Amino acid sequence: MKVCELWQLLLLDLIKPKTMKIPFLILILFLSQLLSAQFSIETVKVTETLENENTSEIPKLVSEKQDDFYVLKKVNDYILKEFMVSSFEQQEIKSFRWYDATFKSEIKDSILYISYAGEYIGGGINDIENELFFDLKTGERLENYDIPFQGLFTIQGYLDFMNSYWLPKAKNAFKEALNCTDSEPDGTIYEISDYKLDNGIVSIAMNQIFHKRYDYTCDPLFSATVTVEELLPLLSDKGKLILLTDNYTQKSKVETYLYNEEMRPTLPTNIYLWGQIDNKMPFTMGLNINNESNEVAGIYFYDKIGKNIQLKGTKDDDTFYLEEFYEGKMSGKININSRNPYLPEGFGMFLENSEIYNFLGDWSSPNGDKKLELIFDAITFSHINNY
């Protein structure tokens, strides 16, 4: 008996009068599993066409139901495009330049996850890795945004973590990496890419800094570990729920995607900024944006002094208007604009909403008779809710 036929029999049994009291949610979950069960991933082996020696494995979505033709075509067309071919049939492929390509996949709750990696021979040798998510009800590609490490903390907690557990050693590793190559870095030491909780220890790793193949050996292979006991006072209540109660880092890829969709909209919008005032006074700043009122509150401090200066103000469109308070008295004003036309001194970045931002700011005395420029070296977000 085919899987789909078995599910049909079970469904008929579920809707008999004696079982009609079954909760609606359970029925929905059952139907979702039924949809996922009819799909599977098939491994297709393809040999590269340069030397005809190396064989790669690429994924192909298949289904027992003919009614799924539209979803199958949409997903498989996307997969073929990723591998730059027009067919899964070797004899129909004119050029295939992948070496040692492999993949992993997962299907659950009508979501398909595929990750693949391999070498692509184009103008040079390119190491390529990618993750794909698809909605098996429609065949649409889904965008996944993981909960960033900084999204787990209070503002004060994250700045304390960076200064106590991360930056001192990360800065040394970064300097060694810069001495290894003449290339400009593509990332910063403030970008933590991976984190995982296992047996009471949280492991954290740095983003890849250099993306050019010949600079890979120069990447700072820096990571850090911290115990849950050390981390706990620094986490927000939401962060404790995500990391500890819900065991976020132990979820499967599809489970993680579904959890991201549920939890990310509930995260606060915190921004962390590092830079210099007047190009000579390094500072660290953390801001929280209330997206309903556009009120902004936070702290900053001069790195050499380390004493918190309170910030409060508003965000109007793309500009922050902040007042600073030290020991209860207003000690200055800070304006930060995130949509300046591109300027060399501005800090440019792409955010997850596909918009381009360029941050530049200034500090001024309370009466405005003194003004100094703010230059940003790094900016990270805990989450972007309607930024």
Contact 338, 366 (CB under 8 A): no
Residue 227 exposed, middle or buried by CB count within 10 Å (0-12, 13-18, 19+) = exposed
DSSP-based three-state secondary structure for 313? strand
Residue linked to tokens 């008779």: 369
Residue 162, phi-psi category: left (phi > 0), alpha (psi -120 to 50), beta (remainder): alpha
This prediction's pTM = 0.83
Report the 10 Å Cβ neighbour count for 322. 23
* Cα angle for residues 89, 95, 100 (degrees, 5° grid): 80
Beta-ladder partners of 43: 59
CA distance 374 to 363: 7
Domains of the chain by range and CATH? 38-142 (3.30.565), 149-265 (no CATH), 269-381 (2.40.160)
Report d(CA 117, CA 17) in Å as an integer.
50
**Encoded amino acid at 126, one letter:** N
d(CA 2, CA 7): 9
pLDDT tens, N- to C-terminus, the chain (387 residues)? 444 454 454 445 544 554 444 555 454 555 555 555 689 999 999 999 999 999 999 999 999 887 889 999 999 999 999 999 999 999 999 999 999 999 999 999 999 999 999 999 988 888 899 999 999 999 999 999 899 999 999 999 999 999 999 998 888 877 777 777 766 666 778 888 789 999 999 999 876 655 454 455 666 667 899 999 999 999 999 999 999 999 999 999 999 999 999 998 899 999 999 999 999 999 999 999 998 899 999 999 999 999 999 999 999 988 999 999 999 999 999 999 987 666 677 787 766 655 678 899 999 999 989 999 999 999 998 875 545
Q: Contact at 8 Å (CB) between 189 and 204?
A: no
Q: Please give the Cα distance from 317 to 59 (Å, whole number).
A: 44
